[in-house]
Amino acid sequence: MNEKIYPLTFEPVFRDYIWGGRNLETKLGRALPAGKVAESWDISGHPSSPTKADNGPLAGQTLPELLDLLATKLVGTRSQPMLERGKFPLLVKLLDANKRLSVQVHPDDAYAAKHENGELGKTEMWYVLHAEPGAYLIYGLTKGVTPESFRRALEAGHLERCLHQLPVKAGDAVFIPSGSVHAIMDGILIAEIQQNSDTTYRVYDWNRLGADGQPRPLHVDKALDVINFDLVEPGPFPPQLVEERNGLRRELITASPYFNVEKVTFAQNSAFEGLCDGSTFEIWGIISGRGSIGWSGEPVELEAVRFALLPAALGNFKIEAAIPATFLRVYVPG
């Protein structure tokens, strides 16, 4: 057994923005530092906030260091292009929208490579962990919006009329490909799976001021370059049943070239047996309940909300639920 290949968990890195709060503590039981906390980066190889392994022989090493050490054994052959760039492919975070976020859009890989010093683009998905009654997201545009009418509304300070409101509840999954106008509104907690990028074009900030008393910077021209004006009044991603047997239910809740995400629901004492065969790593995040990851070594215990990274070379593994549980399963498609 290779002592450096085992299910990895990480110490989160917390980030503060003006829209954050304490809901990761009060609603999810996270131990937080003092003050506002907007985001918990749970699995991150991004240079601005790399996470450190907190279990096993590799504890204390950052994800970029693990990528250097383990290479294909960590990410798998499907992620070879990212490995050649020295980047872990994905980033997993939790967001507390105690107040609404700015209206944003992210570029695709080609635009980011050209305009953001070779950075990746950003396609992402949101899984709603908690939503207050009446909560909604901004996702896409209303009918009839054009680049010209969008810019006019921005200049008039009334972009709201162009923005599609999508009501959401806990358990909804929303796929946000690059080019999608979006904003997380107040009263929502989200788990986010995304490309390993922090490239964001802020379009509109509700005419509010930042912590320094000044308006936060906008990136209107770049945003208008990349907005997909054909994304009109979209809905949540429709779950697609993959498997249902022996108390286990798997649903595909995002499909993209960068990552697939499944929602896996376990009855008490049900199990999923999988294989990391060298083609891709897997990320398993427990959203509710309690469970464990069995492999050839000591099982890794997980309680909600917690994510684990299974290296591509791990081999056989088994997810078991001690009590009814819901997991997110993430992998790079072939």
Residue 71 has pLDDT above 90, yes or no: yes
What is the structure's pLDDT at 157? 86
* Residue 101, domain member (yes or no): yes
Q: Which residues of 270-309 are buried (b: 16+ CB within 10 A; e: fewer)?
A: bebebebebbbbbbbbbbbbbbbbbbeeeebebebbbbbb
Is 306 among the catalytic positions?
no
Q: Is the same domain home to 15 and 50? A: yes
Contact 332, 312 (CB under 8 A): no
Q: Is the same domain home to 29 and 59? A: yes
- The CA-CA-CA angle for residues 265, 289, 249, to 5°, reads 5
* Residue 5, domain member (yes or no): no
Residue 19 has pLDDT above 90, yes or no: yes
Q: How confident is the model at residue 238 (pLDDT cuts 50, 70, 90)?
A: very high
Q: Is the same domain home to 254 and 305? A: yes
Q: Is the same domain home to 129 and 157? A: yes
Distance of CA 196 to the CA centre of its chain: 9
Residue 178 has pLDDT above 80, yes or no: yes
* Residue 231, domain member (yes or no): no
Dist. CA 298–CA 311, nearest whole Å = 15
Mean pLDDT of all residues belonging to the chain: 96
Q: Is the same domain home to 212 and 245? A: no
Q: Is the same domain home to 193 and 304? A: no
Q: How confident is the model at residue 34 (pLDDT cuts 50, 70, 90)?
A: very high
Q: Is the same domain home to 216 and 263? A: no
What is the structure's pLDDT at 2? 78
* Residue 3, domain member (yes or no): no
What is the structure's pLDDT at 308? 98
Determine the average pLDDT of the residues in 136-143.
98
Residue 210 has pLDDT above 80, yes or no: no
* Residue 193, domain member (yes or no): yes
Q: Which of 158, 192, 226 is the last residue of a domain?
A: 226
Q: Which domain holds residue 293?
A: 240-331
Q: Is the same domain home to 79 and 204? A: yes
Q: Which of 165, 196, 226 is the last residue of a domain?
A: 226
Number of domains in the chain: 2
* Residue 196, domain member (yes or no): yes
Q: Which of 170, 194, 226 is the last residue of a domain?
A: 226
Model confidence pLDDT, tens digit, residues 267-317: 998 999 999 999 999 999 999 999 999 999 999 999 999 999 999 999 999
Residue percentage of the chain with pLDDT more than 90: 94
Catalytic residue among 78, 202, 249, 306: 202
Q: Is the same domain home to 137 and 261? A: no
Q: Is the same domain home to 98 and 194? A: yes
CATH of the domain at 327: 2.60.120.10
Q: Is the same domain home to 275 and 204? A: no
Q: Is the same domain home to 210 and 311? A: no
DSSP conformation class of 46: -
Please count the helices (runs of H) and the strands (runs of E) in the chain: 7, 23
Q: Look up the pTM and report it.
A: 0.96
* Residue 234, domain member (yes or no): no
* Residue 22, domain member (yes or no): yes
Residue 1 has pLDDT above 70, yes or no: no
